Chain A
Amino acid sequence: MTTSVTPAATSAGTAAETFLSVRDLMVHFPTSDGLVKSVDGLSFDLQRGQTLGIVGESGSGKSVSSMAIMGLHWGTGAKISGQIVLDGTDLLELTPDQMRRKRGQDVAMIFQDPLSAMHPYFTVGNQIMEAYQVHNDVSKGDAKKRAIEMLDRVGIPNPDRRFSDYPHQFSGGMRQRAMIAMGLINNPGLLIADEPTTALDVTVQAQILDLLQDLQREFNSAIIIITHDLGVVAEMADDVLVMYAGRAVEHGPCRELLTHPEMPYTWGLLSSVPDVTGDTDARLIPIPGSPPSLLNPPTGCAFHPRCLHRDKVPGDLCRTTMPDLVPGQRGAHHTKRCHLADSDSIYQTEVLPEIAPDLAEEPAGPLVGEAPEEQR
């Protein structure tokens, strides 16, 4: 049906080698109430040194798909199909043990709440060391040295002393730094950061994002950053993938997508971002309604019950027919899943004046991208 296999072009636009290629990924959970399609036909590509931002509300499937890439769905009864090709290997075809060897080695993950993501009963150093030892046949002393090195690298002062502290003795930002140290200790090609700054103080958020960018440059890793915070995306991402009800609904280069969003859901996300520098006329417009049930997704476009613009589409198409993920008005590199024909102009004339009146006159201005910068 909808799973168009259109490879999204990267913002770099060059023929760089694709490092991660996800094709038609489906993660379905059979439950006693029926099949929950948490991720349904997701495709994207990512190159080394590049960052993909996945945004969406909770339940949109962004975390589930990253867990699928990590191979962490065993035991949950999830039915996973499609392809996740990492550096030439389809992860979905690996045995559990082969996948285990890749976890932490080739693909690592850091989590939202570093306090709950670290074991309270083991020292920080022990937990970081463990990540190294499991993939490298080294002595304890070497592993410890390496862990202290990493702690130092992520900017923890007195790393050899803090090595034997417990997570609760670290501050929130320090814990996240430690998590990053743990994730990067094996120098993985792909790092998935699931809401890495959400639980942190605003002032610390930017430091962490800076750190991630520094490390990405140093290790040339690919990063998937999962967030609901468009500010983080604007700061970090090269490409942005917007997910809704288990599907990609808009995909394109970061700046392009943020300045010329073509899908009403993306508009809604942008409307929900407070603009600290913007004038006081700017309105925060929350998306009406609540995320759809994945058990009984709405017919047609999954977003249509909450969409303010569906009557602009003739023939009740939004309610009856699921739109394909196809290039919009601005070229093949920017795909959208929406029946609206002239979405760009609707955005410029109807949406933008509401959310950023001062920018409405300059359609091409760098608008939203600035907001997160101010948040630093």
Chain B
Amino acid sequence: MFAFLVRRVFAGVIMLIVMSLVVFGLFFASPVDVAAFACGKNCSPAIKEQTRKALGYDDPTLVQWKDFMVGIAKGREYPNDPELREAAPQLVASCDAPCFGYSQVNSRTVNEEISKAFPITVSLAVVALIIWLTVGIALGCIAALTKGSFLDRGLVGISLVFYAFPTFFIGLLLLKFVSIKWGLWDIPEYTSIADGGVGAWLYNLILPSVTLAVVFMAAYVRMTRAFVLEAMSEDYIRTAHSKGLSRGRVLRKHTLRAALTPLVTMAGLDFAGLLGGAIITEYVFNFNGLGKLAVDANQNYDLPTIIGLVVLAASFVILMNIIVDVLYAVIDPRVRLG
């Protein structure tokens, strides 16, 4: 187990390093002149170069990447120009390790950006996860247990429809009708638990979480149904029945245990993906989580933020993969890590 963890973490770190290098390469391989973009109108070549320096893009790509890696390991100070830092200490923004960089576009360190956005994304992801797992698994079980009935067909049909719905469409629909037209629910504005208590936090999270959960829910209804049906046809379920166990007990103990194991993997990876930011939902509901941060960073060509978010999101996926593997070994005694 320990050797497994060490190996996986090591491989993950290598992957992150390579990935960061690739992002740097792609960013600067783009035909777009980032400095001209930031400089805007009436921009002379000399001013453009100064802008490039201000953005921290004046060094060769590899040097910038090296600085980034050093920042991750040891922390960094901005602006990049040591002369400027010495002449005007009031300008210095220090960024402790692991420093993802300083976003000139947002005028703060990427670490600050992430620490502001992360709780929002996590809140959204957790509430959505709870919604889609409970509802999705419950409905999936109902569909499986009533296989072939109208209820089953209805559930499968509806989930197919929802699955085909684009998330932004569901979000806009909820906003437009539930919040604005019918006034059933205030337009959500993220409120942290510290600011508004659990009630306000949850109240504001419901609509976006539902939006986010719907597509997953639809997928999980169908997956749960398939896995439960598959499990129900297993010999060991017949064995359980032949022992005289009640249907409920067989379902709860034997069938679900087998059916939900693959769901754990999927839920883990889906959740990890969301921790990188629920882009569309956050955008539609104006929740300033990592997803919206990423969209804005892309639109503004904000490399430090992009790279920070890529590394962060990738870390979540890698980490969650490891966790899921470990979890799998816990759930399924046949699996041995090694």
Task: Specify which of B239, B243, B249, B331 is in contact with A121 (CB 8 Å cutoff).
Answer: B331
Q: Do B257 and A119 touch across chains, with their CB atoms under 8 A apart?
A: yes
CB within 8 Å of A: which of B81-132?
Answer: none
Q: Do A134 and B244 touch across chains, with their CB atoms under 8 A apart?
A: yes
State A100–B334 Cα separation when bound (angstroms): 31
Q: Do A119 and B236 touch across chains, with their CB atoms under 8 A apart?
A: yes
B299 at the interface (CB under 8 A from A): no
Task: Specify which of B240, B245, B332 is in contact with A120 (CB 8 Å cutoff).
Answer: B332
State A255–B255 Cα separation when bound (angstroms): 43
B242 at the interface (CB under 8 A from A): yes
Q: Do A113 and B235 touch across chains, with their CB atoms under 8 A apart?
A: yes
CB within 8 Å of A: which of B236-280?
Answer: 236, 238-246, 249, 254, 257-258, 261
Q: How far is the CB of B148 from chain A (nearest CB, A)?
A: 9
Binds B, one of A54-62, A104-112, A343-351: A104-112
Cβ–Cβ < 8 Å partners of A123 in chain B: 333
Q: Do A104 and B244 touch across chains, with their CB atoms under 8 A apart?
A: yes
Cβ–Cβ < 8 Å partners of A118 in chain B: 236, 239
CB within 8 Å of B: which of A277-328?
Answer: none
Q: Do A119 and B242 touch across chains, with their CB atoms under 8 A apart?
A: no
Q: Do B242 and A108 touch across chains, with their CB atoms under 8 A apart?
A: yes
Task: Specify which of A72, A122, A134, A182 is in contact with B238 (CB 8 Å cutoff).
Answer: A72
Scoring B234, B245, B246, B332 by chain A CB atoms within 10 A of each residue's CB, the highest score goes to B245
Can you list, as one digit per residue, whether each of A230-246 has a CB less than 8 Å from chain B (1) or not (0)? Answer: 00000000000000000
Q: How far is the CB of A151 from chain B (nearest CB, A)?
A: 16
Q: Do A103 and B244 touch across chains, with their CB atoms under 8 A apart?
A: yes
Q: Do B244 and A121 touch across chains, with their CB atoms under 8 A apart?
A: no
CB within 8 Å of B: which of A317-375?
Answer: none
Q: Do B238 and A117 touch across chains, with their CB atoms under 8 A apart?
A: yes
- Provided the pairs A113-B235, A130-B245, A134-B245 are in contact, do residues A119 and B333 lie with their beta carbons within 8 angstroms? no
Q: Do A121 and B242 touch across chains, with their CB atoms under 8 A apart?
A: no
Give the nearest-CB partner of B332 in chain A: A121
Scoring B238, B239, B242, B258 by chain A CB atoms within 10 A of each residue's CB, the highest score goes to B242
State A100–B258 Cα separation when bound (angstroms): 22
Task: Specify which of B235, B244, B334 is in contact with A117 (CB 8 Å cutoff).
Answer: B235
A131 at the interface (CB under 8 A from B): yes
Q: Do A131 and B332 touch across chains, with their CB atoms under 8 A apart?
A: no
Q: How far is the CB of A30 from chain B (nearest CB, A)?
A: 12
Q: How far is the CB of A219 from chain B (nearest CB, A)?
A: 17
Can you list, as one digit per residue, whether each of B139-152 has a CB less than 8 Å from chain A (1) or not (0)? Answer: 00000000000000
Q: Do B244 and A100 touch across chains, with their CB atoms under 8 A apart?
A: yes
Q: How far is the CB of B231 from chain A (nearest CB, A)?
A: 10
Q: How far is the CB of A161 from chain B (nearest CB, A)?
A: 16
Q: Do B334 and A103 touch across chains, with their CB atoms under 8 A apart?
A: no
Cβ–Cβ < 8 Å partners of A72 in chain B: 238, 241-242
Can you list, as one digit per residue, whether each of A57-78 has a CB less than 8 Å from chain B (1) or not (0)? Answer: 0000000000000101000000
Q: Do B246 and A100 touch across chains, with their CB atoms under 8 A apart?
A: yes
Cβ–Cβ < 8 Å partners of A121 in chain B: 257-258, 261, 331-333
Q: Do A134 and B236 touch across chains, with their CB atoms under 8 A apart?
A: no
Q: Do B236 and A117 touch across chains, with their CB atoms under 8 A apart?
A: yes
- Provided the pairs A101-B244, A102-B244, A134-B245 are in contact, do residues A119 and B332 lie with their beta carbons within 8 angstroms? no
Task: Specify which of A109, A168, A182 is in contact with B334 (CB 8 Å cutoff).
Answer: A168
State A135–B245 Cα separation when bound (angstroms): 9
State A122–B256 Cα separation when bound (angstroms): 13
Q: Do B239 and A117 touch across chains, with their CB atoms under 8 A apart?
A: yes
A29 at the interface (CB under 8 A from B): no
State A121–B237 Cα separation when bound (angstroms): 12
Give the nearest-CB partner of A182 in chain B: B243
Q: Do A111 and B333 touch across chains, with their CB atoms under 8 A apart?
A: no
Q: How far is the CB of B226 from chain A (nearest CB, A)?
A: 17
Cβ–Cβ < 8 Å partners of B249 in chain A: 134
Task: Specify which of A113, A120, A131 is in contact with B243 (CB 8 Å cutoff).
Answer: A131
Q: Do A104 and B334 touch across chains, with their CB atoms under 8 A apart?
A: no
Cβ–Cβ < 8 Å partners of B333 in chain A: 120-121, 123, 166, 168
A116 at the interface (CB under 8 A from B): yes
Give the nearest-CB partner of A104 in chain B: B244
Cβ–Cβ < 8 Å partners of A122 in chain B: 254, 257
Q: Do B331 and A104 touch across chains, with their CB atoms under 8 A apart?
A: no
Q: How far is the CB of A78 from chain B (nearest CB, A)?
A: 14
State A130–B257 Cα separation when bound (angstroms): 15
CB within 8 Å of B: which of A76-117?
Answer: 97, 100-105, 108-109, 111, 113, 116-117
Q: Do B234 and A116 touch across chains, with their CB atoms under 8 A apart?
A: yes
Cβ–Cβ < 8 Å partners of B239 in chain A: 111, 117-119, 127, 179, 182
Can you list, as one digit per residue, whether each of A119-144 has a CB less than 8 Å from chain B (1) or not (0)? Answer: 11111000100110011000000000
Can you list, as one digit per residue, whether each of B289-332 has a CB less than 8 Å from chain A (1) or not (0)? Answer: 00000000000000000000000000000000000000000011
State A104–B332 Cα separation when bound (angstroms): 26
Q: How far is the CB of A170 from chain B (nearest CB, A)?
A: 12
Cβ–Cβ < 8 Å partners of B236 in chain A: 116-120
Scoring B235, B246, B257, B258 by chain A CB atoms within 10 A of each residue's CB, the highest score goes to B235
Scoring A100, A102, A166 by chain B CB atoms within 10 A of each residue's CB, the highest score goes to A100
Cβ–Cβ < 8 Å partners of A131 in chain B: 243-244
Q: How far is the CB of A69 from chain B (nearest CB, A)?
A: 11
Q: Give 25 pairs: A residue, B residue, CB < 8 Å, sorted on A.
A: A72-B241, A100-B244, A100-B245, A100-B246, A102-B244, A103-B241, A103-B242, A103-B243, A103-B244, A104-B243, A108-B243, A109-B242, A111-B235, A117-B236, A117-B238, A117-B239, A119-B240, A119-B254, A119-B257, A119-B258, A121-B331, A121-B332, A123-B333, A131-B244, A134-B243
A positions within 8 Å CB-CB of B: 70, 72, 97, 100-105, 108-109, 111, 113, 116-123, 127, 130-131, 134-135, 166, 168, 179, 182
Sorted from nearest, which 9 A-B pairs have the closest CB atoms? A104-B244, A103-B244, A116-B235, A131-B243, A104-B243, A119-B236, A166-B333, A117-B235, A109-B242
Q: A120-B258, A130-B243 are in contact. List 13 more A-B contacts (CB 8 A).
A: A70-B242, A101-B244, A102-B244, A108-B243, A119-B240, A119-B254, A120-B333, A120-B334, A121-B258, A121-B332, A122-B257, A130-B245, A182-B243
